[in-house]
Amino acid sequence: MKLPSKNWVEIDLAAIAHNVRMIRQRVGRGVGIIGVVKSDAYGHGASRVGRLLQSMGVGMLAVAGVEEGIVLRDRGINIPILVLGCIFQEEVEAILRYSLTPNLCDRDVARRLAGSAKSLDKVAKVHVKIDTGLGSLGVHHGEAVRFIRDVANTENLFIEGIFTHFSSSSEIDNNHTYEQLCIFNDIVREIESLGIHVPLKHAANSGAVLGTPEALFNLVRPGMLLYGLRPSYPDVVCGRHSIDVHPAMTLKSSLGFIKNISAGDTVSYGRTFKAQRPTKVGILPLGYDNGYIRALSNKSEVIIRGQRAPVIGRVRMNHVQIDVTDVPGVRVGDEVILFGRNSGLSISVETVAELINTVPYEVVCAAGRSNPKVYINEVTRDEYNEDSIRRPAGSVPAYKG
């Protein structure tokens, strides 16, 4: 017998659709969107979000690994899917079978991919990733032109796109972003001087969509903006280029138990909270096993019955304690919001992240990974602008099952 969960994340699909429209307005016509749905769409559910983006005419999705791409294909996604992460040689056959587009930055993988494509009488589309300063995955920029030239001369491979990833586009000081952009532009000019035409170019993640309009090219790769999340320094970045995005995820629980304690009593492990007055303590059936990070102990708050209530004591594996002394009429079963909005009150994901010195996407990934998802506000085709539907130039639906 399946019982309803007492903890869940609520995903507002209309908010995501709104955010897509806002991104389109920000980047302008002629710039396509690669919807980043890696890590289960930042905890929001890659299959459901992917289908929504596909229905809205988003021309391409991006995932972290080949397995994520296969799941989307099996769930009915037929637009191009770019694999952003590491590609292993043993994954090449699956890439071709499921018509995934790998990022390519390894010669051994290139040889294996070309050989397998030839044996199947196919041409494999690839996007070459150039490391212009992130210091992670990608062909080092000093070797990029030679690498691209060699791939371009390899039978059964087609370089559909080239891209880079910025390390600091959401930071207060984005000088390094412009340094990376200059390196990328130099490489683009050099390969074009060699007669190598690459249809798709992309560099702008969410921070660059807001703060570096010179980096838009003909595609952008928003991740956190799709889900209504802000960069690390929203006042600075959004002050340069503001955008009205709506948070899509709310983390909810149910009040499971209420008890009264006396002044001087302590709560939870380590006795880190000591009551200064007679206190009514509410217990939630949720803890760090549900993605509510332990570092929030004695720092955060929740919304219950239209009021704020502080988290008290250490967050445990399966329980959180809240002080409901000042919440009139509180009772077992009341809905509790750990982040999100209710009754005109808000606890933003950014606020929660700031309390524990992390980034908003860690918060939503943890919550989405650990709790059932409830989708609200389904979007019909009439609710978005058909005029804005477009796929990036040079891209076609990649998979027909």
Q: Which of the residues are catalytic?
A: 38, 269
* Helix axes of 46-55 and 66-74: crossing angle, nearest 10 degrees: 60
Number of H helices, E strands in the chain: 12, 21
Contacts of 138 (CB under 8 A, 6+ apart): 103, 105, 129, 130, 131, 132, 164, 165
- The DSSP bridge partners found for residue 131 are 140
How far is Cα 314 from Cα 296, in angstroms, rounded to an integer?
A: 8
Greatest Cα-to-Cα distance within the chain, rounded to the nearest angstrom: 79
Judged on CB neighbours under 10 Å (0-12, 13-18, 19+), 153 is exposed
Amino acid at 319: H
- Backbone phi, then psi, for 397, in 5-degree steps? -50, 135
Contacts of 168 (CB under 8 A, 6+ apart): 174, 176, 177
Q: Tokens standing for 58?
A: 């988003």
How far is Cα 78 from Cα 391, in angstroms, rounded to an integer?
A: 13
- The DSSP bridge partners found for residue 253 are 7, 336
Q: Print burial letters for 182-198: b (CB count within 10 Å at least 16), e (below 16).
A: ebbbebbeebeeeebeb
- The DSSP bridge partners found for residue 283 are 257, 321
Q: Tokens standing for 318?
A: 């399966």
Judged on CB neighbours under 10 Å (0-12, 13-18, 19+), 334 is middle
Task: Tell which residue, 241, 201, 206, has the closest CA to residue 221.
Answer: 206
How far is Cα 234 from Cα 288, in angstroms, rounded to an integer?
A: 27
Other CB atoms within 10 Å distance of the CB of residue 362: 17
